[in-house]
Amino acid sequence: MTLITEPEMFNKRGQRFIRWTRRVLTLTGVLALAYVALTLFNAKLFQNAASRALDGQIHAEEQHTALTRKSVKEGDVLGRIEVPRIRMSVVVLQGTTSATLRLGAGHIGGTALPGESGNIGIAGHRDTFFRSLKDIRRDDEILLQTTSGITKYEVDWIQITAPADGGIVSLATEPGLTLVTCYPFYYIGAAPERFVVHAHRQ
């Protein structure tokens, strides 16, 4: 009869524990990647559907009326923003809740609605729809399409600011457009700053 010494027993238990831990970590990683992929896929499907819906509204005669604050609710499709040079195109929704920003860019409450006089504020996630803003430059053209037509803007300035500096979005009183996302673009975790792009209407 072969006797198993205490060190050998401890070694075998340690090996079993390592194998079990490795399997758990692998499964956790696979599930995390699957969740991210599913979230991005769902957002892509929504963008396609929302873009088609917007195109349908643009061509519908009865939809050619200005938006009003009373008629707009969280998650409603307001338009589509495009920056041709950096190949950015994303549907703009009303509101900036987590659920809304997972599906598209969001209109910032308290700023002008598309079609209104004043400055329009739009926010987006740096790791999805607004990632390409890292390549934007002064004088770049931005197009905002709504049921009323296409409004053209030209980038005035780009600024890095603190999250608490929300007033920077409403600084402009002239018709304009302000885009906001988190910064740095490749920061892991909650980003400490904000990347702000302002453009005037052409």
Average pLDDT over residues 133-146: 97
Residue 28 inside a domain? The answer is no
CATH of the domain at 183: 2.40.260.10
Domain region containing 188: 59-201
Average pLDDT over residues 52-70: 59
Give the residue carrying structure tokens 């673009």: 185
Residue 53 inside a domain? The answer is no
Q: Please state, rounded to an integer, the average pLDDT across all residues of the chain.
A: 84
Residue 167 inside a domain? The answer is yes
What local confidence, expressed as pLDDT, does residue 15 receive? 76
pLDDT tens for residues 91-100?
999 999 999 9
Residue 31 inside a domain? The answer is no
CA-CA distance, 166 to 100, in Å (whole number)?
19
Average pLDDT over residues 191-195: 94
Q: Is 54 helix (H, G, I), strand (E, B) or coil?
A: helix
Q: Which residues pair with 181 in a beta bridge?
A: 195
CA distances in angstroms from 129 to 59, 70, 92, 119, listed in the order given: 26, 27, 10, 21
pLDDT at 163 over 80: yes
CA-CA distance, 107 to 129, in Å (whole number)?
14
Provide the number of structural domains found in the chain: 1
Residue 30 inside a domain? The answer is no
CA-CA distance, 19 to 87, in Å (whole number)?
46
